Amino acid sequence: MAFNSSSVVVRMGLSSSQDAASVDSVTLFVLLLCSCILFGHLLQKSKWMTESVVALIIGLITGIIILLTTGGKSSRILVFDEDLFFIYLLPPIIFNAGFQVKKKQFFRNFLAIMLYGVIGSLISFLIVSLGSIQLFKKLDIDLVTVGDYFALGAVFSATDSVCTLQVLDQDETPHLYSLVFGEGVVNDATSVVLFNAIQKLDLSHITPANIMQFIGNFLYLFLTSTLLGIVVGLFSAYLIKKLYFGRHSTDREIALMILMAYFSYMLAELLDLSGILTVFFCGIVMSHYTWHNVTENSRITSRHAFATFSLISEIFIFLYVGMDALDIEKWRFASNSPWTLFGTSAILLSLVLIGRAAFVFPLSFIANLFRKSRNDKIAFKQQVVIWWSGLMRGAVSIALAYNKFTTSGHTQVQGNAIMITSTITVVLLTNVVGGLLTKPLVRFLLDPHMHVGESSISSGLFSAKNLPLLTNGQDIESSIDAGNPLDSSKLVHQYWRTFDDTFMRPVFGGRGFVPIIPASTTEDNIH
């Protein structure tokens, strides 16, 4: 990860030289990242704490120390930059999510995931937007355009399931894990697409034509972003399969995989599409085809490399959010109306709670109508966990709020300052309180030894999640086909497998269609 010295503003007066201060700041931040990983490891078996909550708390403590050190002038080492977040930090997280996803489980729950992630996000978006329009009238907040309220709805429709996924065990609750994980990724992408579509829409006069234009823009961004990710993923698989990089060096294979994944994200941003959706589906396609076309060493290394990049980015984000929460500038402007700030935060948090409940339970009922097997239905206790997990708001909400209500991370407008500080308040409350209570809630509602809705075969399927390389290069998900023989999802899966084996794998490679290469020539010579 590179830090552009022109975009990084140092907030600590520890050195007379700006370049030296930048080095000091980055060094301190790296030390804090190491501390988060260390304490996260030591508290891994805690019944309450999660790694994201640890990072938030360390960020808050560091912010307090910096405030005292600088005489109350600043609480941050670096100024928040949306470009830093969207260009450097978010892509590794989303790509690794797609690359490591259990594809069979993900697509088996695809209908429910899309209902939660797309339809549910739209419902939450409307409730937060329309609710804030009505309730903010009673508060003295300077939001002058309808677009501000709808942008606020997009900001608070973005969930952050990272904290919850750290306490859900993919072995013990694969069904629930798949639902929460899939919804979180699709929801983040939907929120960003909504936000971008609103920015392009003239909301000064809402007409049926504007509404149709909004729906058209949303569908266009969603579908084209998904298609672009699939195309780039297939191109990387074909390229590596044909050129056979492994005969010389596995380094080139891994480098090409990383660069192609990043290229898909940046190309989507260049074309004004959703980079989140693009890189997520690129990760799914690359794990299905490209990963099987590389050497054995590349498979092991790539999985660990992608997971490592994702871990560092996640900790970086939570650590920075904790530090930024104490930024004195925004609180100074917002503190002129403390009751307005309190009321705004309370309204937004209430709307998030209501908006979440308004779609989780009804959409779960609809999803259960299409599940023929009783064991596959989403139980009420599972719905409660899904509702609770989606209450958390995180870095995506912060980034979108900064994008809308600040300029280069700063604002001197009271209304905008209240929006930023309220967003930070909701993020801290939902993550810290939600993160601390999620483990007890899961233990209380769900039996950790017998998860409803999962067969023994499915449980065995996920027991290999920690293996860096599956036996003989085989994808366990692909080789196991469990479920009700009359289930339509299995029928669709069988048609897909036939099409995949007949047309896709012979061209793009994949399990069983490429030779297993134990190591490269260069590596053999070294050993």
What would the pLDDT profile of 57-68 be if each residue is shown by its tens digit?
A: 898 898 888 888
* Residue keyed to tokens 């609710």: 131
pLDDT exceeds 70 at position 457: no
Which phi and psi angles does 459 have, rounded to 5°?
A: -65, -40
Q: What angle do CA 151, 158, 116 make, to 5 degrees?
A: 120
* Residue keyed to tokens 């994944």: 261
Q: How many domains does the chain have?
A: 1
Amino acid at 86: F
What would the pLDDT profile of 211-240 be if each residue is shown by its tens digit?
A: 787 788 888 888 999 999 999 999 999 998
pLDDT at 347: 92
pLDDT at 516: 60
What would the pLDDT profile of 191-206 be if each residue is shown by its tens digit?
A: 888 888 887 776 667 7
Mean pLDDT of 399-411: 74
pLDDT exceeds 80 at position 492: no
Percent of the chain exceeding pLDDT 90 equals 19
What would the pLDDT profile of 148-183 be if each residue is shown by its tens digit?
A: 888 889 989 888 766 666 667 666 777 788 888 888
pLDDT at 409: 56
pLDDT exceeds 50 at position 487: no
pLDDT exceeds 50 at position 472: no
* Residue keyed to tokens 């860096």: 468
pLDDT exceeds 50 at position 52: yes
pLDDT at 403: 80
**CA distance linking residue 185 with residue 280, whole number of Å:** 8
pLDDT at 286: 94
pLDDT exceeds 70 at position 491: no
What would the pLDDT profile of 82-126 be if each residue is shown by its tens digit?
A: 777 788 888 998 898 889 877 777 778 888 888 998 999 999 999
User: Residue 489 — pLDDT band, cuts 50, 70, 90?
Assistant: low
Whether residue 225 is contained in a domain is answered as yes
Helix, strand or coil, per DSSP, at residue 468:
coil
pLDDT at 477: 44
pLDDT at 471: 35
The CATH number of whichever domain residue 422 belongs to comes to: 1.20.1530.20
* Residue keyed to tokens 């894990």: 177
pLDDT exceeds 90 at position 264: yes
What would the pLDDT profile of 319-348 be if each residue is shown by its tens digit?
A: 888 887 777 777 776 666 777 778 888 999
The alpha helices in 390-520, defined as continuous H runs, are 395-405, 414-428, 434-445, 456-461, 476-479, 488-499, 505-508
Most confident of the ranges 67-76, 261-270, 296-305, 433-442:
261-270
pLDDT exceeds 50 at position 401: yes
Instruction: Find the distance separating the first CA and the last CA of the chain, reported in whole Å.
Output: 31
275: which residues sit within 8 A by CB, 6+ positions away? 86, 90, 91, 225, 264, 265, 266, 268, 269
User: Residue 473 — pLDDT band, cuts 50, 70, 90?
Assistant: very low
* Surface-to-core class of residue 268, CB atoms within 10 Å of its CB (0-12 exposed, 13-18 middle, 19+ buried): buried
Whether residue 37 is contained in a domain is answered as no
Residues in the chain: 527
The alpha helices in 10-155, defined as continuous H runs, are 18-42, 51-69, 82-83, 90-100, 103-108, 110-114, 121-135, 146-155
pLDDT at 326: 77
- Mean pLDDT score of the chain: 77
**CA distance linking residue 356 with residue 354, whole number of Å:** 5
pLDDT at 333: 67
Whether residue 515 is contained in a domain is answered as no
Could you tell me the pTM of the whole model?
0.79
pLDDT at 16: 43
Amino acid at 354: I
Mean pLDDT of 389-396: 82
Q: Which residue has the higher pLDDT, 483 or 264?
A: 264
Most confident of the ranges 11-15, 146-150, 444-448:
146-150
CA atoms within 13 A on the CB side of 403: 20
* Residues spanned by the domain of 351: 82-446
Whether residue 50 is contained in a domain is answered as no
* Residue keyed to tokens 């790539």: 302
Whether residue 153 is contained in a domain is answered as yes
User: Residue 480 — pLDDT band, cuts 50, 70, 90?
Assistant: very low
pLDDT at 490: 61
Whether residue 402 is contained in a domain is answered as yes
pLDDT at 366: 92
User: Residue 270 — pLDDT band, cuts 50, 70, 90?
Assistant: very high
Whether residue 493 is contained in a domain is answered as no
493: which residues sit within 8 A by CB, 6+ positions away? 104, 107, 108, 481
Instruction: Give the closest residue to 400 by CA, choosing from 135, 190, 171, 259.
Output: 190
pLDDT at 314: 84
Whether residue 44 is contained in a domain is answered as no
Sign, Cα dihedral of 389, 393, 396, 397? positive
Most confident of the ranges 21-25, 139-143, 499-503, 512-516:
499-503
